[in-house]
C-alpha cells in the first residue's frame, strides 16, 4: 500500500520538486486538490486528514496558519522558514547531529532546513561539536546559489529577461537563514553572512574562510578533513573529500542529486583555510531533503 502525501503548495518550486522525487521513488500517492480549492481552508483540512503526512510548501504566515487548522494527530513537514527554530519542532537535517535521524523518524512536526543553512551547518557543527571552534568565534559565510532559490519572480527575471550574471543580496546582514545557522551550528555570535545569486538555475557553494589560529586546538587542513570524515562516517548523502582541495569548483556539479560534498582548500604556510560545502539548492537544499525526511517519518528509511 502506498503512503499518501498531501503537498500544500504543490505548484511552487519546492513542491513540484518533491512531487517529482516521490513519483520517481515509487510507493507514494499524492493527495491533490482541484485548483479552485487550493486556498480553501476546509478542503485543505480534509486533505490533511486523508494523508499520512502533510508537507507545507507555503510562505511563513500561511505555514503557521496551516499548522493551526491541521487535524489532531496530523504529521507535518514544513518547508518554510516558520518553524525551524520553534519549540516542539524537530530540525530536518538528519546528518547534522547524533541521533537526529531517529528524532525525525518519531516526530509529529519536522522543519525542513534552508539551503544555505544546510551547507553552513554541515561545515560548522562538526567543528563546534568537537570543540575546535568556540560559540563566540567571529565568522564570515559567503555563498552563491542558482536563481531557482529566489522564487517565481527571480526565476522569471533570469529566464525571460536574462537577469544579472551575478548579484549580492540581503546586504542588511539579516538573512532569514541566520537563526537556524546559529542555533544548529552551536554559535552564540552571528556570522557575517553574504549570500549571492548567479545566472544559473540551480546549484550552490557555501564557503567559510578561517585562519587556522582561530581553532582552539592546533590543527592542519588535512586534519580538518579527517575530522569531517570521521563526523560524517556512514552518512550516505554527505561526501568528504580528504586532503587539501586545489581544483576549481562548479556550483552546478551536484544538480539533480541529493548529495552534499565538503572540501577544505588551504594555504598552509599562511595558516589559511576555506571550508566549502557544495549541494543542489533544490536537492539536499530543499526537495531532496524533504523526501529524505518524508521517508524517515514514515519509517521507509533509517537515515
For the residues 46-55, what does the mean pLDDT come to?
96
For the residues 112-119, what does the mean pLDDT come to?
98
pLDDT score recorded for residue 161 = 81
* Domains present along the chain, CATH in parentheses: 3-113+286-297 (3.40.50.720), 115-281 (3.30.360.10)
pLDDT score recorded for residue 302 = 67
Instruction: Tell which wins on pLDDT, 216 or 12.
Output: 216
Under DSSP, is residue 30 helix (H, G, I), strand (E, B) or coil? strand
Q: How far apart are CA 75 and CA 108, in angstroms?
A: 5
Computed over every residue of the chain, the mean pLDDT equals 95
pLDDT above 80: residue 69? yes
Residue 68, burial from CB neighbour count under 10 angstroms (0-12, 13-18, 19+): exposed
pLDDT above 70: residue 137? yes
pLDDT score recorded for residue 14 = 92
Instruction: Tell which wins on pLDDT, 227 or 36.
Output: 227
CA 74 to chain centre: 23
Instruction: Tell which wins on pLDDT, 154 or 58.
Output: 58
For the residues 105-133, what does the mean pLDDT come to?
98
Query: Could you report the per-residue pLDDT of 74-104, keeping only the tens digit for each?
Result: 999 999 999 999 999 999 999 999 999 999 9
Instruction: Tell which wins on pLDDT, 79 or 162.
Output: 79
pLDDT score recorded for residue 38 = 87
pLDDT score recorded for residue 273 = 98
Catalytic site residue from 57, 115, 140, 219: 115
pLDDT score recorded for residue 11 = 85
Please report the DSSP string for 210-270 in residue order.
EEGGGSSS---HHHHHHHHHHHTTT-TTEEE--S---S---TTTTTTS--EEEEEEEEGGG
pLDDT score recorded for residue 303 = 61
Under DSSP, is residue 54 helix (H, G, I), strand (E, B) or coil? strand
Q: Catalytic site residue 140?
A: no
pTM across the whole model: 0.95
pLDDT above 70: residue 34? yes
pLDDT above 90: residue 143? yes
Contact of 140 with 191, CB cutoff 8 Å:
yes
Amino acid at each position: 500500500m502506498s503512503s499518501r502525501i498531501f503537498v500544500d503548495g504543490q505548484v511552487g518550486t519546492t513542491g513540484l520538486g518533491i512531487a517529482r522525487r516521490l513519483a520517481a521513488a515509487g510507493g507514494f500517492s499524492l493527495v491533490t486538490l482541484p485548483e479552485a480549492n487550493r486556498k480553501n481552508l476546509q478542503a485543505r483540512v480534509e486533505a490533511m486528514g486523508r494523508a499520512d503526512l502533510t508537507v507545507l510548501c507555503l510562505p511563513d504566515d500561511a505555514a503557521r496558519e496551516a499548522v493551526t487548522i491541521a487535524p489532531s494527530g496530523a504529521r507535518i513537514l514544513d518547508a518554510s522558514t516558520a518553524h525551524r527554530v520553534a519549540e516542539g519542532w524537530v530540525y530536518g537535517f538528519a546528518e547534522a547531529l547524533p541521533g537526529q535521524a531517529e528524532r525525525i523518524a518519531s516526530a509529529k512536526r519536522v522543519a525542513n532546513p534552508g539551503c544555505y543553512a544546510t551547507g553552513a551547518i554541515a561545515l560548522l557543527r562538526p567543528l563546534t561539536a568537537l570543540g575546535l571552534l568556540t560559540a563566540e568565534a567571529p565568522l564570515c559565510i559567503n555563498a552563491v546559489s542558482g536563481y531557482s532559490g529566489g522564487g517565481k519572480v527571480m526565476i522569471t527575471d533570469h529566464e525571460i529577461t536574462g537577469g544579472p550574471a551575478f548579484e549580492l543580496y540581503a546586504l542588511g546582514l539579516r538573512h532569514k537563514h541566520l537563526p537556524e545557522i546559529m542555533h544548529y551550528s552551536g554559535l552564540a555570535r552571528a556570522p557575517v553572512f553574504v549570500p549571492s545569486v548567479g545566472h544559473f538555475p540551480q546549484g550552490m557553494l557555501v564557503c567559510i574562510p578561517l585562519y587556522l589560529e582561530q581553532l582552539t586546538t592546533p590543527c592542519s587542513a588535512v586534519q580538518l578533513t579527517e575530522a569531517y570524515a570521521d563526523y560524517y562516517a556512514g552518512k550516505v548523502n554527505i561526501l568528504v573529500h580528504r586532503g587539501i582541495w586545489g581544483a576549481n569548483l562548479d556550483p552546478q556539479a551536484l544538480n539533480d542529486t541529493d548529495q552534499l560534498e565538503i572540501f577544505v582548500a588551504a594555504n598552509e604556510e599562511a595558516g589559511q583555510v576555506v571550508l566549502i560545502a557544495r549541494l543542489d539548492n533544490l536537492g539536499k537544499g530543499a526537495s531532496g531533503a524533504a523526501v529524505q525526511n518524508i521517508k524517515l517519518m514514515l519509517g521507509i528509511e533509517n537515515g
